[in-house]
């Protein structure tokens, strides 16, 4: 899995994770995109605001509520179940990291094609374009789990919110 993550890292924006301080929504959490000083939408996205608790808990059970973490992308958030170590991790690349709106394998990166332009990497990682951003979601629920189909569902939610 570490090798897969390292290979995936070579294909993505390697800026440090830095959550945005976007607007508060009715749930008290920051919204995905903040507002710039000029009043327009900023390009910063807080990965921890992209999934709701009722979307993560059915996948991994009780969890820490999502926390910024290190990884590949401008904003990375991980949700982890402390009892089972099952997890969901979302990584959002910076603007222009998928300039064509498509994900292309970099030399040395091995992936399998999935639906709707998704590329599956090892370790439960689904790589996808959201607009012009190279993004990833990783679902880890243990052997025999249906992590790929779960990742595909999450990609659909994430694309609508990025």
> What is the phi-psi region of residue 129: left when phi exceeds 0, alpha when psi lies from -120 to 50, beta otherwise?
beta
Would you say 96 and 102 are in contact if contact means Cβ atoms under 8 Å apart? Answer: no
DSSP 8-state class, residue 94: P
pLDDT at 23 over 50: no
* Mean pLDDT, the chain, integer: 80
Stated pTM of the model: 0.75
pLDDT at 61 over 60: yes
Query: 152 versus 144: which is more confidently predicted?
Result: 152
**Cα distance between residue 134 and residue 76, in whole Å:** 12
Mean pLDDT confidence for 89-112: 91
| Confidence category of residue 35, pLDDT binned at 50, 70, 90 | very low
**Cα distance between residue 37 and residue 117, in whole Å:** 34
pLDDT at 154 over 60: yes
Q: Which two tokens stand for residue 26?
A: 């009715």
Domain limits of the chain? 2-161
Which residues contact residue 41 at a Cβ distance below 8 angstroms, ignoring those fewer than 6 apart? Answer: 33, 34, 35
């Amino acid at each position: 899995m570490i090798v897969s993550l390292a290979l995936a890292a070579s294909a993505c924006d390697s800026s440090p994770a830095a959550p945005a301080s976007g607007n508060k929504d009715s749930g008290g959490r920051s919204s995905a995109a903040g507002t710039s000083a000029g009043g327009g939408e900023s390009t910063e996205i807080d990965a921890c605001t992209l999934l709701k608790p009722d979307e993560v808990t059915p996948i991994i059970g009780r969890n820490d509520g999502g926390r910024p973490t290190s990884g590949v992308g401008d904003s990375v958030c991980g949700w982890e179940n402390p009892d089972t170590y099952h997890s969901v991790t979302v990584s959002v690349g910076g603007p222009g990291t998928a300039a064509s709106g498509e994900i292309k394998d970099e030399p040395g990166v091995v992936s399998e094609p999935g639906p709707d332009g998704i590329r599956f990497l090892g370790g439960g990682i689904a790589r996808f374009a959201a607009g012009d951003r190279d993004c990833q979601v990783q679902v880890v629920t243990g052997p025999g789990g249906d992590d790929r189909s779960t990742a595909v569902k999450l990609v659909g939610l994430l694309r609508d919110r990025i």
